[in-house]
Amino acid sequence: MILAIIVGILSLLVVILGYTTFNLLRKNEKAEDIIVSQDIFIESTSSQIEKASKRLNEIDVKGSFKSDDEIGWFFEEIKILQNNLSALKSK
């Protein structure tokens, strides 16, 4: 009688622990999938930042945008944003 109770309790514990392990495994796999997709996004954004930085430097070589007030202001703001993105990327 006592042996049956002990076996019943142990069986219940095995089922509970098995379920919680499986549940945690599913959650961990979902978190890994999210991390992989975010890593892909970060890599593509990093590549775009590099391309934009190179192109912005190519455009700025002549300095023709700085001469016009309205375009020069906008161009300077774009350069500031680009520098902030480049600094964020290098961290």
Mean pLDDT, range 72-80, rounded to an integer: 77
pLDDT digits (tens, 9 = 90+) for 1-51: 899 999 999 999 999 999 999 999 999 999 999 999 999 988 888 888 888
Residues, the chain:
91
- pLDDT score of 25: 98
Single pTM value for the model: 0.60
* Distance in angstroms between the alpha carbons of the first and the last residue of the chain: 65
> One-letter amino acid identity for 58?
E
| Structure token pair of residue 39 | 């890593």
Model pLDDT, residue 69: 63
Measured distance CA(42)–CA(39) in Å, rounded:
5
